[in-house]
Amino acid sequence: MSVRSDFDPAAIPAPARAICEVLRADGHGAWVVGGCVRDHLLGRAVSDWDLCTSARPERVMKLFARTIPTGIAHGTVTVVLDREHFEVTTLRGDGEYSDGRRPDAVRFLDDIADDLARRDFTVNAIAYDPIAGALVDPHGGLDDLRRGVLRAVGDPAQRFGEDGLRVLRGARFTASLGFDLDPATEAAIPGALKVLRRVSPERVREEWLKALKAPSPSRAFDVMARTGILGVNIPALTAPTHDPAAWERSLRAVDACPPPATSRLAALLHTVDPRLLEGWLRTTKFSNEERATVVALRRALPLGAPGGWSDADVRRWLRGVGRAAAGPVLDVAAAVDGEAALEGLRARVDAALASEVPLSVGELAIDGNALMSALGMEPSRALGLLLASLLEQVLDDPTRNTPEALLALARASRSH
């Protein structure tokens, strides 16, 4: 694991450093902390720079002209400087976590080490003082970064018992960071599953989507399977995990499938009954679009033996899945069964798409109004059936898609 030997203060955005300078000038400590420090030390792009301070939230709001009380009850104020937003959180210690997600109350602290002691994993419990140029790492997070190990801060059972989401984050971090889970940390996960059950479906969805965006999502889902997280998150998937060969195939498929996350999710869950899958996606608060996409991809599998398909079969398959979904369906099918199993279908689909063959009655070279005018028909079910029949004939032979040819076919059909 390539890890920086020091923290480059120039990486911190100028407004974030300015916030720290204002806080220090007012007599308070100020640090960048958590994921931004971790990612910078790993040489990864940092999306958000989070700050912490010994200043109380009310003082932070007085020191800066533009602030938003984002989570002031828990010490978080968003400071807006140079049109950029930075979360500034007062050092804190947490009380009881009766809901298994958020502390019932917090107490504000003055010592950065005390604040870091309540964080989830050592690699997220590192702070940097940009004014003093000092890294604060009381739990060996830098060494864990170098070793590529994800380890809970302090007692893992206590950390997981406080917040059920942490076990899911731990699984996800193994994929997004490419780290191995510390054995003692992993051993504490099964005992915290009852707390995981209290986590909202929305947060479960968020962690799953983040895991699916990782270079190798299988790392996260393998952890979830062997620690029991899957049994809590998606019971419908527990049966396949009892078949080691089938589960390994699912893990290979999710890694082999290219993004987006919906395609990868369909590849991972390709053994789950579509009805159960749709119910789980709904319960877990996936969006309507996400749910429809994943279920459609799942229902399109397996493809069968496309090597024996005629060109008309390929066009009818395209009509069924739709132009936009054709590529993702082939990606998922190739991830599950291998590209060779497609038997050249991808090239044939590309050729059909390039030919712009009609896939719906609305794309025919003649419409219902023209047929009614030419044949003296009224709007009716018979008109719809006639258009559908014309589409079938065009799928058999796309050269028929001209107004003249379609009208001739329609007249012939009406004469019988």
Q: Do the domain assignments include residue 127?
A: yes
Is-contact 129 19, C-beta < 8 A? no
Domain total of the chain:
3
Q: Tens digits of per-residue pLDDT, 340-377?
A: 999 999 999 999 999 999 999 999 999 999 999 999 99
For residue 235, what pLDDT is reported?
85
Q: Do the domain assignments include residue 353?
A: no
Q: Are residues 135 and 154 in the same domain?
A: no
Kindly report the average pLDDT of the chain as a whole number: 93
Domain containing residue 42: CATH number: 3.30.460.10
Q: Tens digits of per-residue pLDDT, 166-194?
A: 999 999 999 999 999 999 999 999 999 99
Is-contact 236 268, C-beta < 8 A? no
Q: Do the domain assignments include residue 349?
A: no
Report the distance separating Cα 256 and Cα 217, nearest Å. Answer: 10
- Phi and psi, residue 171, nearest 5°: -60, -45
Q: Tens digits of per-residue pLDDT, 95-136?
A: 555 554 565 567 999 999 999 999 999 999 999 999 999 999
Query: Tokens in use for 96?
Result: 């009881």
Q: Are residues 137 and 38 in the same domain?
A: yes
Q: Do the domain assignments include residue 4?
A: no
Q: Do the domain assignments include residue 99?
A: yes
Report the distance separating Cα 406 and Cα 365, nearest Å. Answer: 8
Domain that holds residue 97: 9-147
Amino acid at 209: L
Is-contact 349 314, C-beta < 8 A? yes
Q: Do the domain assignments include residue 309?
A: no
Rg (CA), the chain: 29
Q: Are residues 247 and 365 in the same domain?
A: no
Residue at a domain's end among 255, 273, 294: 255
Report the distance separating Cα 107 and Cα 116, nearest Å. Answer: 14
Residue at a domain's end among 98, 131, 147: 147
Strands 51-53, 84-90: pairing is parallel
**Whether pLDDT at 141 is above 70:** yes
Q: Do the domain assignments include residue 345?
A: no
What pTM was computed for the model? 0.89
Residue at a domain's end among 121, 147, 173: 147
Q: Are residues 132 and 197 in the same domain?
A: no
Q: Are residues 120 and 197 in the same domain?
A: no
